[in-house]
Amino acid sequence: MSEKNPDNKKFPLLPKLIATSFGAGFLPVAPGTWGAIVAIALWLPLYFFARPDVIFWTTLAATVVYTIAGTWASSESEKYWGKDPVIACADETVGQWISLLPLSGIAITPWWEILLSLALFRFFDIFKPLGIRAMERLPRGYGMMADDILSGIYTVIILLIVNHFIL
């Protein structure tokens, strides 16, 4: 029997899929980056085929829904994999969607801005400056999600500044 899973029960499929961003967390290197890339991969078809307002509101709705589901699934993941397991990357998916919000309302977003949103988000998520690390102290899935939400918000601020002064 495991200390993390004293009853030695199998992790149910639905919370496992949500927590790992549909399995991206199982990829061997940098699961958090893969979780963020899942967000972009799911967002791009919407970006290519929808109006800017639809992109924004759909991205925001997906962020809210996946934040709720991801908080639950991340809390469940700790029961099986221990505190803040690296393969639970739903938080990176949510944080990346937040990072894409300012790009959603722009009719033509340059590719470099999508890549910049990924780079900035991962920077904030990995190094955790400006109070981001403190968010991890929240219990269970709340702490797992909160630091990435704040990383996404900081990314949004920088992207808004870039769009105001450069584009």
* Domain extent listing, the chain: 13-165
Amino acid 167: pLDDT: 64
Q: How confident is the model at residue 104 (pLDDT cuts 50, 70, 90)?
A: confident
Amino acid 165: pLDDT: 86
Higher pLDDT, 5 or 34: 34
- Say if CB 24 and CB 37 are below 8 A apart: yes
Q: How confident is the model at residue 82 (pLDDT cuts 50, 70, 90)?
A: very high
- Say if CB 155 and CB 98 are below 8 A apart: yes
Torsion (CA) 97, 56, 160, 138 in degrees, nearest 10: -40
- 3-class DSSP state for residue 138? coil
The residue behind tokens 């639950």 is 72
**Vertex 146 angle, CA 141 and 149, to 5°:** 130
